[in-house]
Amino acid sequence: MAKDKYYIIDFDSTFTQVEALDELGEISLAGEENKDEILQQIKDLTNGAMEGRSSFTEGLSKRLALLKANRRHLKPLIQLLQTKVSDSIKRNKEFFQTYADHILIVSSGFKEFITPIVTEYGIKEENIYANTFRFDEQGNIIGFDEENLLCLDRGKIKLLEELALEGDVYVLGDGYTDYEIKEAGLANKFYAFTENVVRDSVVAKADDVAPSLDEFLYQHKLPMAISYPKNRIRVLLLENVHPKAVELFKREGYQIETVSGALSEDELCERIRNVSVLGIRSKTQVTKRVLEHANKLMCIGAFCIGTNQIDLSACLDAGVAVFNAPYSNTRSVVELAIGEIIMLCRNAVDKSIKMHQGIWDKSATGSVEVRDKKLGIIGYGSIGAQLSVLAEALGMVVYYYDVVERLQLGNARKCETLKQLLQIADIVSLHVDGRTSNQGMFGAEEFAAMKDGAIFLNLSRGHIVDLPALVEAIKSGKVRGAAVDVYPYEPATNDEEFVSELRGLPNVILTPHIGGSTQEAQENIGTFVPSRIMEYINTGNSYQSVNFPNIQLPELKNAHRLIHIHQNVPGVLANINSVLAGNQVNILGQYLKTNEQIGYVITDIDKLYDKKVIEEMKRVPATIKFRILY
C-alpha cells in the first residue's frame, strides 16, 4: 500500500513574496520619524532568524516590540498580502485545492494574517499551523501566545514531532527553520524555495533547490499550471543584449547565460547544446550546422531588425521559431541618418578634424543647407518611411523607390525605377533588407547613374554596396560625401581592428554599426523580443515570427494545448485528428496555418484524456516537434 505524502509549505517569502512582519512595519510605523531605521532593525532580526544566526523566539519578541502595531493595521496588511502571493503559487491554485488534505502551512508567522490568504487557495483552516497575537484592551499587539510551539526556537520540529505524520513528508520553504525539520529526521526532503529570496546558508543545507513551485511539482510528478518548470528553460544571450532582456527572462524564471561578444560557428556549436532560447544581434551567424547541434532549441531572438545572419529555412526544418524587432530601433536609425545628412552637407566632419589639428578653415565653400534638397530613399519600409517624414519636416523634397508597392507618406514621390531616383536625388540613402538577392545591388553602375557631387548613405546592410565602387566614386568626386554604418565584414569584438578602404577618405563619416544603438532603442528591443519569445513558449502564439506561420491564439482556459509542428505534406492534420478521435479526445478548438515548408497546428482539448495520446501525437508521420501546454 502506497504511503501518504504530506507537503509542508512555509508562508513568508514562500507562499507570499514578502515577510509579513516587515510589511506590517511599513503600515504601523507610517509617520514615525525614524521609520527607516526601525524597519532595518526588523529586517535584520528577520534575516538573522531565517538564516539560523540568532534565536527565533528572542527575535520575534524584539520585532513585535519595534512594530508598535495595532489590530486595525491587520486589515490593510491582509489586503497587501493578497497582492503579494508568489507567482508560481498563484498559477498552481488547482494543486492546493486537489491536495488540500495533504498540504500543511507551517509558519512562524501569525494566523491572523495567514489564514485569510491561504484559505483562498483551498487550504483547510485546520491545516494551518502558525502563531497568534496577544492584544491589549486598545487592540495593540503586545506579544504572542507563548504556549504555541511555533514561537519557540526549533518550534517547527516540536510541532512536527507532535503531529507525527504517517507517510512521506516534503518541506518547501526559504528559511533555516524549514531546513531544521529535515535535519531532525522529520521529513524526507527539504527544498529551498528561491523564487523570492535566496539565502545562501539555507540553499547550502537543502536537498534540492526549487526556484518555483512548478519545479517542486515537476519533481514530484504532480499536476502543474505550466508544461514544465521555467527554470529548465536555458537562455543563451550573446553580443551584449540589453540588460532589460536579462531582467525579463530572469523574472520569468529562466536560467540565463550571457556572453559579451559574438561566437564563431564552432564556439556556438559547442555552447548551443541544451539551450532552449538563443538571443543574438547582428554578428553571430546561426547556420544549419549550428542548428544540428541544438538539441533543445525552441526559438531564436534577433535583438535587431535584420535576420539575414540566421538560416531561416534551416530553422523551419528544425521547428525553431525566430523573432526580431522590426520597429524598436527605427527612430534611432532615422535620427542618425538625418544628423549625418546635415553634417555631410556642411562638410562639418572634415572641418572638425582640422580644428583638432589646429587648422582654422572658416569657409562656406561646399557647405549647403538641406532645405529644398532632393532626398532619394531606396527601401521604403519602416525606417525609410519614417526618414521620409522627418526629412520633409526639414524642408527636403523626398523621392523613394521600393520593389514592393508602398503607400507614400506626406508629399513623398514614388519613382518607378532605381535609375530614375538616382538621376533626381541630391542625397541617396539606402534602407533595404539583407536578403541574399540584395547582395551587391549598389555598385559602379548605380554610382555612375547618380548626380555629380551627390551624397550617399548606407545604414542598412554591409553586403549591399560594392565598397571598391564607393571608394572610386568618392575619390573621383562623383560622390562628395558619404556616411557608412554597416560593412561586409565587421569586427566580432571591440578589441578587433576595423580594416576598410574607406578609412581616411575626405568627408566620409564611418560609424561602427550603431544605427540602432541608442539606450532607448536597445531597451525597446530588450523588451519587445523577450515578450514575443515568452508569448510563444507560454501560449504557442507565433504572431510576428519572421519564419513561422503567424497564429494569434485565444487565451488557454480550462484546457490543455497540443502544439504540433510538422513538415508541410498532405495528410498530417487528418492523422492528428485520427489520433485524437481514436483516443476519444474532446477538441475545444483547433488552429492551423502553413507556409511552404511547415505546418503549425494548435489543438485545445479537454483536460481528461488518456496520456498515451501524447506519445501517439509525437509519432505522427512528418512531425518535427511536439509539446503540450497545461
The residues carrying an active-site annotation are: 461, 490, 513
CA distance 444 to 434: 20
In sequence order, what DSSP letters do the residues of 410-461 get, joined into one string? Answer: TT-EE-SSHHHHHHH-SEEEE-----GGGTT-BSHHHHHHSPTTEEEEE-S-
For 350, the 3-state DSSP assignment is: helix
What's the rounded Cα separation, in Å, for the pair 285 and 118? 50
Sign of CA dihedral 452, 458, 463, 468: positive
Give every strand in the sheet of 189-193, ordered side by side: 128-131, 103-110, 5-9, 168-173, 189-193, 208-210
| H/E element, 128 | strand 128-131
* Residues 397/374, Cβ–Cβ less than 8 Å: yes
Place of cell 525552441: 298
Q: Which H or E run contains 170?
A: strand 168-173
Long-range (24+ apart) CB contacts under 8 A made by 417-420 are 418/378, 418/446, 419/449
DSSP 8-state assignment for residue 407:
P
Give yes or no for a contact between 418 and 394, defined as CB atoms under 8 angstroms apart: no
Among 465, 464, 457, 468, CA closest to 508? 457
Angle between helix axes 519-539 and 330-345 (nearest 10 degrees) is 160
